[in-house]
Amino acid sequence: METNPVPSSAEPKNNRNVIIGVVVAVVLCCCCVVTGVGGYYGYQTYVAAQQAIEEFQDFEIPEIPTDVPFNPSDPNNPGDVPSFDYSGDVPSGGLADDETRLVAWASVQLVGMMSGCTAPNAAGTTITVLTEPSNGGPWREEWNVDCGDGTFTAIPLTFTPENGITSVTVDYQP
């Protein structure tokens, strides 16, 4: 039997180089796609940041008021300075006890000063009961505050007893 020997120069083809080339090409293509997508989103972020910076630069800060309603150190205008009554005197009358009237008087002085009553005076202030309490419940009073300059300001109050303490609410609407 006769066999034909295969010549030594005709070795079987090896596809290893082709496979490596294809894998390298695919990896390079993937890198290009990832770089392109990253560049797109990076550009979008850059544009959004630029718009935010432009909007921030165009933002107008409102002017902060610097005027003071009264200046105690101004010798030309000493009459506008409110004076709190520290005498310990409280107006008499009404249904509240002395401690509750003291708390109410402090609140009334503050509200009065904010509404232009610069020197509230306890001695000239009168208290009128507007509604009587029913079954130990709340009642309303109106305090006609002597502003110390010949004017008076009427300030309504609500007294609400709870757990042995009476809370005071100023109902004044300037």
Model pLDDT for residues 138-154, shown as the tens digit of each residue: 999 999 999 888 899 99
| Domain 83-170, architecture per CATH | Roll (3.10)
Whole-structure pTM value:
0.54
Task: Please give the distance of CA 42 from its chain centroid, rounded to a whole number.
Answer: 35
Residue range 42-62, pLDDT digits in tens: 999 999 988 888 888 877 777
pLDDT along the chain (174 residues), means of 10: 58 78 92 92 91 81 64 58 72 92 91 84 92 92 91 93 91 78
Half-sphere exposure (Cβ direction) of 130: Cα atoms closer than 13 Å: 14
Q: CA 159, CA 127: separation in Å to the nearest integer? A: 13
How far is the CA of 12 from the CAs of 7, 9, 22, 64, 70, in angstroms?
11, 10, 20, 89, 105
